[in-house]
Amino acid sequence: MNVLETITRLRVELNQHNYNYYTLDNPTISDYDFDIKLKELQELEAKHPEFFDENSPTLRVGGTITKNFETVMHEYRMYSLDNSYSKEDLQDWEIRCKKIVGDVAIQYTCELKYDGASISITYENGLLKRAVTRGDGFQGDDVTNNIKTIKAVPIKLKGDYPEKFDIRGEIVLPFAGFEKMNQDLIEIGETPYSNPRNTASGSLKLQDSAEVAKRPLDCLLYSIIGNNLDLNTQDEALQKARDWGFKVPNQSKLAKNLEEVFQFIDYWDVHRHDLPYETDGVVVKVNLIQYQNELDYTAKSPRWAMAYKFKSEQVSTILNSISYQVGRTGAITPVANLEPVQLAGTIVKRASLHNADQIEKLDVRLHDTVFVEKGGEIIPKIIAVDLTQRKPNSEPTKYITNCPECNTELVRIEGEANHYCPNFYGCPPQIIGRIQHYISRKAMDIEGLGGETVALLFNAGLVSNYADLYELQKEQIIPLERMAEKSAENLVKGVQDSKNVPFERVLYALGIRYVGETVAKKLAKHYKNIDAIAKASLMDLVLVDEIGEKIAQSVVMFFENQENRLIIERLKNYGVQLEINAENDTSVSDKLKGKIFVVSGVFEIYSRDDLKKAIEANGGKVGSSISSKTDYVIAGDNMGPSKLEKANKLNVSIINEFQFNDLLNG
């Protein structure tokens, strides 16, 4: 088999696996084997730029940067939908339809109304050509590179598709993925996203498509548009779209009459809470395309479709009190304690209030009657106060000024939403939270020790930081609640075993604010050991790829602290891994040793990631912005003019990817 054949075979295979996994939910290969094949293809493509294909599955990982999204006209306008809120509304609508198409039996397709960001994707000769946001309905932004990273969007179609058409759908962020993203943010002390819909639509406009690729977005399709499509009904269109490889949720249903439409609505009004993503209604469409054509459009929306909006589930109840929780990083979260009330099938006792601004905006006061709503999040939120029920002597809520756990005065950093308790070393939930983070699965993964036991150990005065764990003796642990000889032994053994955990995970485990898993990896790789990181200046840190000022500042602050330095010294003495293990080091040469590179623009033979990998693997460093310390700028297409100017001004060598290749091989 020649190279092109191998490349083609891998592309076909990987596309099929993506389809099985993301569209059919039915993978037939392990993630590991998938990655191996993907790597193989990536390597072949890098070696053979002549076989580049803008539709290769390797582009799913992203890596292109879009500074300004190009505005494009929609060939077919993207209309809104008329809304209805009751069955009577729908009956009236049917009467209006019959005035136009005549007194005939009308069939409808019922689909769920997915709550995300709408997208219009153009396919030509079975290939994804362009994806455009809705914009104002007439023109939107070209977000093709970002959309290509969403694995459920087919890049190449199957079967008997029309030569050219647009397909419309909704980009959604399923709850599970959304929760996971927020979990990761909370873990590093960042503010979580407020809801899946905004996060999905924000994702489409991210400049770095590699960032989009990391987000667990999905794309659900619902409409095909074009000339001479040879489609007779909406139902048939949905089925065809499925056949061509699109993800069209199969909850959609053909209803013979309005009665069946109502049954669909009643069913999903209850069961929509079981779906993996957010829906806010049902879209009812006249099934026959011929009728659709006769009904046509108003200035704003099709006359042949109607959205039926579910009533959002809301109840009113009384706010009994507000309590304040202190997180691992000291962030304070206010929580509303409510008079228990039934909402969407569960009893609600608590609701989130987010932060001081939110409390002020809602102007919620103790003993107010409040409206509570269940959105995508697990914990419901207060959306408004029923002012008609307010007690005459009520007073505005005063946000706490001191930590509820240690009474230290709270601080609020300019530009941040949350208050913090600055008593890093004396505030119990912060101490316990830090140790819990240290032992957690993605960090040191200490077997035989759980979060509750950490609290027990702390309360018994046995540990007050994670270094203390390494001093624990079996005899000290046994007397604790629910502990026995065996469990105490396991705990001590688990702690000792953690000395084998590699440096990058130890660095993450330290719980430095904003240093999540990815940042920890970057820092470990760049500096190789803890002492180098501790010594690094702010200036030096921000030159590391992907390390921004906020992270750099937090790292510097962490190591400036005497107490942290002592703890780290102790960890070192216990034998915890505080430097990169030579065996795990992936450098292949020292050729670029000491050289600092900045990568800018779009490349032909390398992806940006590959370039960065190659630099680091050969001893160089990747900086994020051009400074006098930069040795080389590797410039691709579309390098920004301001960068060019800066590089010239500072006399930094500008090379292209081929010259970089020579540098490596020469």
Active site residues: 113
Please give the DSSP secondary-structure letter assigned to residue 317: E
| Cα-based distances in Å from 420 to 148, 411, 560 | 40, 5, 19
Stated as kind and residue range, the H or E segment containing 494 is helix 485-497
Stated as kind and residue range, the H or E segment containing 136 is none
Window of 56-64, 111-119, 579-587, 653-661 that interacts with ligand AMP by CB under 6 A: 111-119
* Cβ-based neighbour number of residue 625 at 10 Å: 12
Amino acid code (one letter) for 284: V
Please give the DSSP secondary-structure letter assigned to residue 425: T
For ligand AMP, which residue of 113, 215, 434, 522 counts as binding (CB under 6 A)? 113
* Cβ-based neighbour number of residue 137 at 10 Å: 14
By a kind-dependent CB cut-off of 5 to 8 A, residue 403 interacts, out of ligand AMP, Zn ion, none, with: Zn ion
Q: Find the distance separating the first CA and the last CA of the chain, reported in whole Å.
A: 31
CB of 22 to ligand AMP, least distance (A): 19
According to CB under 6 A, which residues from 116 to 155 bind ligand AMP? 118, 134
* Closer to ligand AMP by Cβ: residue 279 or 436: 279
Per-residue x/- marks for Zn ion, 421-450, CB under 5 A?
A: x-x---x-----------------------
| 307 is a site residue for ligand AMP (CB under 6 A) | yes
Per-residue x/- marks for ligand AMP, 363-382, CB under 6 A?
A: --------------------
Per-residue x/- marks for Zn ion, 270-309, CB under 5 A?
A: ----------------------------------------
Helix, coil or strand: residue 97? helix
CB of 601 to ligand AMP, least distance (A): 34
Per-residue x/- marks for ligand AMP, 200-229, CB under 6 A?
A: ----------------------x-------
By a kind-dependent CB cut-off of 5 to 8 A, residue 222 interacts, out of Zn ion, ligand AMP, none, with: ligand AMP
Per-residue x/- marks for ligand AMP, 65-84, CB under 6 A?
A: ---------------xx---
Tokens of 650: 């500072």
| Separation of alpha carbons 602 and 608, rounded Å | 7
Cβ–Cβ under 8 Å, residues 568 and 516: no
| Separation of alpha carbons 360 and 383, rounded Å | 13
Tokens of 565: 């330095």
Phi (first) and psi of residue 609, to 5 degrees: -60, -40
By a kind-dependent CB cut-off of 5 to 8 A, residue 405 interacts, out of Zn ion, ligand AMP, none, with: Zn ion
| Separation of alpha carbons 162 and 204, rounded Å | 27
CB of 275 to ligand AMP, least distance (A): 12
CB of 501 to ligand AMP, least distance (A): 46
CB of 421 to Zn ion, least distance (A): 3
| Separation of alpha carbons 418 and 398, rounded Å | 15
| Separation of alpha carbons 388 and 367, rounded Å | 13
CB of 623 to ligand AMP, least distance (A): 41
Cβ–Cβ under 8 Å, residues 153 and 111: no
| 114 is a site residue for ligand AMP (CB under 6 A) | yes
For Zn ion, the binding residues (CB under 5 A) are: 403, 405-406, 408, 421, 423, 427
For ligand AMP, the binding residues (CB under 6 A) are: 80-81, 111, 113-114, 118, 134, 170, 222, 283, 307
